[in-house]
């Protein structure tokens, strides 16, 4: 069995080609993908060659960890799942390319335990479940944010989850005026227009390693900066401001299975809206242009590849 897949051959060189798939084992699923999302954080680093050393890193590789499709085959231990609509957080089931994260392909082989059933009615919005779970994982580790830095998809999901928690609506900083719209129950401001210096919990999803010192200076005493983005450069800060505030620093990694289950329930009940987050859609055959648009066009919050017409 083979599949058509997005392959980053080397930095800034992307192709769409056929790859051989590994054989299905007893607990594996074969999923035919309808849609996959493009991450403007980690995938941009993989595409540009700036990704720091990371387990499984190397080229050629299949990117992507935001895929939605239907189970079309399964090993003996998982055949009851055939026909389900599912979210797949990536795959390592390729024989001749690395699967980091391995979700951008027409067909995927993945362990049944990693594949999550979702309502068919979600359609391509299901690709956003990974980011929603990442936002939940960050919030579950501490206080809800009262300041979020960055109004991309992850920042918007963090803000929506904070509103659901029922506390005071967070402030969101955004320097790009094109991304200032779309707030739902919270306010978005340019950081220069915000004089507040008593934030209790600042969540940075900008990925900008130069901001940390300035964020610490905005904390209340005993406040916390949560690094919820991904950074390709070292982070540093002046010690005296952190000392004066008894500042705390927390790193929020990717979601855990319980975060995925929690956010899926919120989405299914309608408590967490995924509306207004997907701004661009392209056929998978146009993957090279789609990736470049996702990484260079600031009006693009989330780009989705449509695989349904691919063989």
Q: What is the pLDDT of residues 89-109, one digit of tens each?
A: 999 999 989 877 899 999 999
C-alpha of 232 from chain center: 16
Same domain assignment for residues 160 and 210: yes
| Predicted confidence (pLDDT) per residue in 266-294, tens digit | 999 999 999 999 999 999 999 999 999 99
Q: Residue 146: its pLDDT value, please?
A: 97
pLDDT of 304 strictly over 90: yes
Banded model confidence at residue 80, pLDDT cuts 50, 70, 90: very high
98: CATH: 3.90.180.10
Task: Please report whether residue 11 resides in a domain.
Answer: yes
Domain span including residue 219: 131-251
pLDDT of 55 strictly over 80: no
Same domain assignment for residues 182 and 106: no
Same domain assignment for residues 158 and 200: yes
Task: Please report whether residue 269 resides in a domain.
Answer: no
Examine the fold and report which residue of 235, 251, 267 is the final residue of a domain before the chain moves on.
251
Same domain assignment for residues 147 and 231: yes
Task: Please report whether residue 271 resides in a domain.
Answer: no
Same domain assignment for residues 96 and 45: yes
- pTM of the predicted model, to two decimals? 0.94
Q: Residue 311: its pLDDT value, please?
A: 72
Residue among 237, 289, 244 nearest 14 (CA): 289
Task: Please report whether residue 259 resides in a domain.
Answer: no
Quickly count: other Cβ atoms within 10 Å of residue 207's Cβ.
22
Number of folded domains in the chain? 2
| Predicted confidence (pLDDT) per residue in 200-251, tens digit | 999 999 999 999 999 999 999 999 999 999 898 999 999 999 999 999 999 9
Three-state DSSP state, 138: helix
Rounded CA-CA distance 301/180 in Å is 12
**Structure-token match 């979600």, residue found:** 122
Longest dimension (CA), the chain: 61
Same domain assignment for residues 244 and 284: no
Q: What is the average per-residue pLDDT within 176-203?
A: 95
Task: Please report whether residue 190 resides in a domain.
Answer: yes
Task: Please report whether residue 125 resides in a domain.
Answer: no
Same domain assignment for residues 109 and 29: yes
DSSP 263-290: HHHHHHHTSS--TT---EEEEGGGHHHH
Task: Please report whether residue 260 resides in a domain.
Answer: no
239, containing H or E segment: helix 239-245
pLDDT of 110 strictly over 90: yes
pLDDT-above-70 percentage for the chain: 100
Task: Please report whether residue 256 resides in a domain.
Answer: no
Q: Residue 98: its pLDDT value, please?
A: 85
Rounded CA-CA distance 301/297 in Å is 9
Picking from 50-54, 75-79, 181-185, which range would have the lowest pLDDT averaged per residue? 50-54
2 contact partners, CB below 8 Å, separation of at least 6: 18, 19, 20, 21
167: CATH: 3.40.50.720
Same domain assignment for residues 136 and 238: yes
């Amino acid at each position: 069995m083979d599949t058509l897949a997005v392959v980053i051959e080397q930095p800034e060189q992307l192709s769409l080609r056929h790859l051989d798939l590994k054989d299905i084992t007893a607990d594996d699923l074969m999923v035919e993908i309808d849609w996959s999302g493009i991450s403007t954080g980690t995938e941009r680093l993989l595409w540009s060659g700036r990704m720091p050393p990371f387990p499984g890193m190397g080229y050629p590789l299949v990117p992507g960890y935001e895929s939605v499709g239907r189970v079309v085959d399964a090993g003996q231990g998982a055949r009851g799942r055939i026909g389900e609509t599912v979210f797949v957080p990536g795959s390592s089931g390729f024989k001749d390319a690395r699967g980091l994260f391995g979700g951008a392909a027409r067909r995927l082989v993945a362990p049944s335990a990693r594949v999550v059933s979702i309502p068919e009615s979600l359609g391509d919005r299901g690709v956003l479940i990974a980011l929603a779970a990442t936002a939940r994982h960050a919030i579950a580790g501490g206080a809800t944010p009262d300041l979020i830095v960055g109004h991309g998809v992850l920042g918007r999901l963090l803000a929506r989850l904070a509103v659901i928690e029922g506390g005071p609506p967070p402030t969101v900083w955004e320097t790009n005026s094109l991304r200032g719209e779309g707030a739902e129950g919270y306010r978005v401001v340019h950081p220069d227009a915000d004089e507040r210096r008593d934030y209790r919990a600042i969540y940075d999803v900008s990925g900008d390693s130069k901001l940390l010192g300035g964020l610490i200076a905005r904390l209340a005493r005993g406040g916390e900066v949560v690094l919820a983005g991904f950074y390709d450069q070292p982070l540093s800060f002046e010690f005296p401001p952190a000392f004066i505030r008894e500042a705390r620093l927390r790193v929020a990694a990717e979601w855990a299975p319980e975060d995925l289950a929690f956010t899926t329930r919120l989405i299914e009940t309608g408590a967490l809206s995924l509306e207004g987050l997907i701004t661009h859609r392209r056929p998978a055959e146009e993957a090279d242009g789609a990736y470049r648009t996702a990484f260079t066009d600031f009006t693009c919050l989330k780009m989705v590849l449509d695989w349904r017409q691919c063989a």
